[in-house]
Amino acid sequence: MNKSPYRIKSCKGLSAIYLVLLSLLIIGIFTGCAGKDRGIEPGKDKGLFSWFRSVAGPSKPESEVDLSEEAMDYFIRGRYILAEEIFQKVKDRYPFSPYATLAELRLADCKFYRGNYDEAIPLYEEFEKLHPTNEAVTYVIFQEGSCYYGLMENPDRDQTSTHKLIKTYERLLNRYPDSPYSYETRKRIAEAKNRLARHETLVARWYMRTNQVLQAKNRLETAMDLYPDTSAGVKAARILKKERIFQDVSATGTDRVKESEESWWRRLIPFI
């Protein structure tokens, strides 16, 4: 019976594959033996695999350019944890490279975009201190203020971050009045001042409920005097003018309102 031509070709193809595999095996054996003959320690030469590495050439060490590009790729895609790790590597390995300056800035940005404002603030401050003439300083100061913006509490809470926001943004406006961040900076300062005025008004209302009229009056006057252009400051002035209770405060600053026996406990629990 005649043999099929397709079968013959198939067998020839398989024979060729076997020959290639056998050749690679022989190369591996000889290169391994050659390593032993040269007195190479076990584990230092891997025979066939070592031969492949020699053909491909030595691996290229990572440069600050390659690392920075990789980190920026992660940063742009919002993978801030991975970006932060590589930026830190650039900063540690190449402290005098221009890419280290970029890494310092982006490390702070990674903290910021992850919502770790308390950790981002000292990094921005350090960048501003180390690179005062860098063109990114306007952005850095704005970001410092943005961290405090993210840390601001409600008007009935501590307002330390609100005060720091105003101080930081006013510094930005004084140094760079025409920066691209001026509009947003002024807008946030106005919002922060209104929050401070609301805080003073809320504290004043608590003093009013506890019949501490002099303290309430002082708080309302603070809101009215320090933040007259805010809606809360205008409201404080309206309360001072409208409430009869403030007419009973003497010119010497003593409170003539008799304290209610039922309200003493309110002194211990503000804002209720």
Q: What is the pLDDT of residues 170-210, one digit of tens each?
A: 999 999 999 999 999 999 999 999 999 999 999 999 998 99
Give the number of domains in the chain: 2
Task: Let me know if residue 36 belongs to a domain.
Answer: yes
pLDDT, tens digit, 9 for 90 and up, residues 207-219: 989 989 999 999 9
How far apart, in whole angstroms, are the C-alpha atoms of residue 123 and residue 131?
Answer: 12
Q: Scan for tokens 């609301």, then name that residue.
A: 198
Residue 246 pLDDT class (50, 70, 90 cuts): confident
Residue 19 pLDDT class (50, 70, 90 cuts): low
CATH of the domain at 171: 1.25.40.10
By residue range, what is the domain housing residue 21? 5-56
Answer yes or no: is pLDDT of 233 > 50. Answer: yes
Answer yes or no: is pLDDT of 43 > 50. Answer: no
Task: Let me know if residue 261 belongs to a domain.
Answer: yes
Residue 49 pLDDT class (50, 70, 90 cuts): very low
pLDDT attached to residue 50: 46
How far apart, in whole angstroms, are the C-alpha atoms of residue 20 and residue 25?
Answer: 9
Residues 6+ apart with CB under 8 A from 119: 111
How many Cβ atoms sit within 10 Å of the Cβ of residue 191?
A: 15
